[in-house]
Structure 1
C-alpha cells in the first residue's frame, strides 16, 4: 500500500463520528496512528455502521406499511426479534393475525439486510392469501414455487411462497432443502410436527437462520406435539425425548395435565408467543346471517328433480371420472337453469338440457333483484357471489335490463381488469357480481352486505367468501343473505353446517381447525355427494347427512378441548408476559 493510500485512510479514520463509545474511539485512535490496509478499514466502517443501526426497540419498517398493526402484533414482533432471536412459535388464537406478526418480523429483518432469502411454506389454499398480505400490506415482492422451482423475476429479493404439498415433492424439495435460507416461515405448522411424515421430514431438512412456526394449536392430542414443534425452533430446549417424557409426561395421555407445569411453561415461553381473544381488544363486527328459502317455479322444480333422479340412477355404476361429472352437474343444478343447461347437453341428456334452456330467468334472480334495490336504496353496496360463470352472465344481463349498475368480476379477467372491477365497485357501482375469484385474496371492507346466489359444497369456500368483508378493518356489522332453493342439496348442507357447528358464528379460521379434525383426508363435498348418490331415497340421504353432522360436532368438541389444552400449557394466568 502506498504512502498516499495510508494517509488517506488515516485521514478518514480521524473523522470520527460523534457520540461513539469510548471503546470505539480508542480503537479508531490506534488505527489512525498506524498504516491501515483496505480490509481493516472496511471492517471498521462495517463496525461503525452496525453500531449506528438502531436495535429492535425501534422498528424501521412501520412507516413503510400500508396499514396500522395492532399494538400486540408489534409487541409480538419485537419479542421475537429481541428475546427469541428470530426463532419462535406464533401461537395466537385463530383470527388474531399471526400472518401480520410474521410479516412484521420479516419486514424488519429485510430492512436490516438480514432476510435476502426467505421461504414461506403454507397449505395450498393459503398461498394466494399470503401473496396478497405480503404484497399489499407490507410491499414485499413474492414469487410462487411450483414443480421445477420458480420463475425469474425483476423484483429484488422476492419472498418465495410454496405450498407444503408441492414443497415436499421432488424436484422442488431438493431445490428448497439444498441451500441456506435466511428466514423460513411455516403457516399451519402443526402439520409439520410429526418427524416421520413427509411434511415433517421437509421441515427438518430445511436450513435457516431465522424460523417462524405459525399455529393456533401447538398441542392437540399428545404432549409430544409440543416437544416436536419447540425442538424445531430451539433444539435441545426441552431436552431429549426421553428427558422430556421423564420430566413432564403425566398420567394418561391428557396434554393439559403434565408434570412440572410451571417449569414447562417457563421453557415454552422462551420460544412461544400466544395471545387469546380475551386478552386483546380486537373486536370484529357481528355476522348477521339469514337463509332465505326460495320456492322454485314449477319448471325449476321439475328440472331439479329430473336431474337428481338421473344422477342417482347413473351413479351406481359410474366410473370415477363420470362421478366427478355427475357431482358437477348436481352443483350446477342448484345454481341456475342457465348454468346447468350446457352441462346437461354435454353429459348426453338432451331432454333435460332442452328443459333447462326453456326456462327464462330464475326465481332466485327475482328475489335477488328485490334485495339489491332495498340495500341500494339505503346507500349500501352489495357483493353477490355465484360459483358459476353462466349464472354470473345471466344475472349481469338481468340487472342491466332492470337498470341496476353492476361491476362484474371473474377469473377470466386480466389482472388489470380485476383491479378495474374492484375500483368500479368501490367508487361507482352499487353491486359487484363475482365468481369464487373474489373469494380469494380480495379485501372489500368498504362493503358490508353480501348475497350468495348459490352455495359451495365446501364450507371453507363459504368462509372465504365471507372473509372478503368480515375481517379487520370492517366498521359495520356484516349482513349475509343465502338464497337457497327449497328441496335442494344446498338446503340440507346449510342445515347441517348451521345446526351442528354454528357456521356463521365461528371466528375466522376456526372452521379450518374443525374440518381438519374430522379426518386427515376428509373431503366434505365428496362426502355429501357420496351420501346423496348412494342413498336409496331422500330419507336415507337425510340420515347420512345427520351422521356426517355428528362427526362435525365431535370435531368441534375436539377443537375446543385442544384450545383449552394449549391455554393450560402456555396461556397461564399472565397472558401478556409472552408478548414482553
Structure 2
C-alpha cells in the first residue's frame, strides 16, 4: 500500500524507471508520466492494492559533478541547440524543433495543404532534386508531433529503401525499419505472439516489389496503417488505362489502399505525365475516384476545373469567407496563353 501522498510534479521511481506525478482528483490513484517518455506511456497505480512491485520511492536528479565539466565549445553548442529548439517550437509548426535542417519556403506548401485537409490526398510532382522526400517527411513529422498520426509506411522501389531509412533518421529523427524479402525473417523473430510486423513497427519503409505479390499483399491490406507515402508513383500507373484492369500488381495494390477513404496518401513523382493520358489519369484516380471514371475527359478543362474545385471544398482547402467566393479559387487555375511575337524579327542584345 502506498501511504505517502505525492504532490503533482514530484519525481518518483517505480518499475525501474523515473516518473513525474501528474495532477489527479482521485486520492486513491497515483497518476504517473515517464520522464523522457510519451503521453501514451502514462500509468495509474491504485494505492490500496499494495503489490510489492508497486513500491514507489522518491528520486531526484543527480547533482553536477566534476566529471560533468566540459569545454566552452560544448557548453555553447548545448546553449545554441536549446535556444533554437525553443525558437522553432514556438511557431505554428510543432515539428520544427526536431528537424536537423531548415526547410525552404516552397517545401512548406505541401505541408500547409495537407494540414488543411481532413484526409490527406496529395500528388507532389516536383522536379528531381527539389526535395520531395523532405516535403513528404515534413507532413508525417508534423502530424506525429500533433498527435494525429502514430504510424506511417513508405512504399518505394527496393533500391531506394536504404535511402529513405537514412533520410528519415538523419533529418526527422524517425527510426524506420525496412521491410522486404531479404530481412522479413529477422524482423518476425522479435515479434510478440499474434502480432504482425505492420502493427508492431510504427515507421516502415516497404519494398513495393515485395508487398505487391498476392501472398504478402492481403496481410498488408488488413494491417496497414492510415498514412501511406508512395515514392516514384509513376512506376505504379495503370498501363492499360482500364478501370478494372489488374495487369499491374503495383497499381492493384495502390488502388486497394486508396479504396479506404479515411486513409491518407501522398504520392511522389518527378515525371507524373509520360505522354499517355490514361496512365496519368490512373494516378489521379488514386487521389479521387472521380478522376478515374471512364467518361472523365482530361481534355475538358471546364470539367477539370469544377472537379478540382469540388475536391478543394471536400478536402477543406477553402475555409471561412473564402468558401463563399468560390470563383476566386477557380480563377487561378492555369490556362494556356499565346504570345504575339513576330517570328521573323531578329533578336540582338546590342542595339
Tell me which interval the TM-score lies in, with the shorter structure as reference length.
Answer: 0.5 to 0.7
**Counterparts of 1:218 and 1:234 in 2: how far apart (Å)?**
16
TM-score normalised according to structure 1 size: 0.33
In the TM superposition, 1:362-401 aligns within 5 A as none
Residues 1:158 and 2:202 are matched in the alignment: yes
Instruction: Report whether the alignment pairs 1:211 with 2:265.
Output: yes
Deviation sequence 1:109-135 (CA, Å, 0-9, x none): 111223223111101111111011101
Aligned CA distance change for structure 1 residues 205 and 95 (closer, same or farther; 3 Å):
same
1:175 deviates by: 2.5
Q: 1:178 aligns with which of 191, 201, 222?
A: 222
Give the equivalent residue in structure 2 for 1:118: 152
Q: 1:178 to 1:85 in 2, by over 3 A?
A: closer
**Residue 261 of structure 1 corresponds to which residue in structure 2?**
301
Alignment partner of 2:249 out of 198, 211, 223: 198
Gaps of 5+ in 2: 1-24, 27-90, 193-199, 239-244, 313-332, 338-351
Structure 1 residue aligned with 2:233: 189
Matched residue, 1:140 = 174
Superposition pairs of residues 178-577 of structure 1, within 5 angstroms: 178-194=222-238, 195-196=245-246, 197-206=248-257, 207=260, 209-236=263-290, 238=291, 240-242=293-295, 244-245=296-297, 248=298, 258=299, 260-261=300-301, 263-264=303-304, 267=307, 270=311
Runs of 5+ in structure 1 lacking a partner?
1-7, 10-56, 249-257, 272-569, 575-580
Shift of 1:192: 1.6
* Structure with the larger helix share: 1
CA separation of 1:571/1:125 partners in 2, compared to 1, >3 Å: closer, same or farther? farther
Cα distance, 1:571–1:179 mapped onto 2, change above 3 Å = farther
Determine if contact 1:98/1:214 at 8 Å carries over to the other structure: yes
Cα gap change, 1:180 to 1:125, in 2 (>3 Å): closer
Where 1:181 maps in the other structure, the secondary structure is: coil
Q: TM-score, normalised by structure 2?
A: 0.52
1:86 paired with 2:137, answer: no
Count of residue pairs brought into register by the alignment: 207
SS for the counterpart of 1:161 is strand
Partner in structure 2 of residue 127 of structure 1 = 161
**1:169-221: CA deviations, max 9, x gaps?**
25432221122412011000112221520111111222562111111222213
Q: 1:70 to 1:262 in 2, by over 3 A?
A: farther
Deviation at 1:573?
7.5
Q: Deviation digits for residues 31-90 of structure 1, max 9, x if unmatched?
A: xxxxxxxxxxxxxxxxxxxxxxxxxx9211011100011111112211122147411111
Report if the CA contact (8 A) 1:135-1:142 is conserved.
Answer: yes
Structure 2: distance between partners of 1:201 and 1:167: 11
Q: Indicate whether 1:59 and 2:93 are aligned.
A: yes
**Does the C-alpha gap of structure 1 residues 572 and 69 become closer, same or farther in structure 2, counting only changes over 3 Å?**
farther
**Within 2, Cα distance between the matches of 1:96 and 1:167?**
28
Write the deviation string for residues 250-281 of structure 1: whole angstroms up to 9, x where unpaired: xxxxxxxx2x335425645857xxxxxxxxxx
CA contact (8 A) 1:146 1:172 kept: no
Q: State which structure, 1 or 2, has the greater radius of gyration over its C-alpha atoms.
A: 1
2:284–2:292 CA contact under 8 A, matched in 1: no
Q: Distance in 2 between matches of 1:89 and 1:228?
A: 12
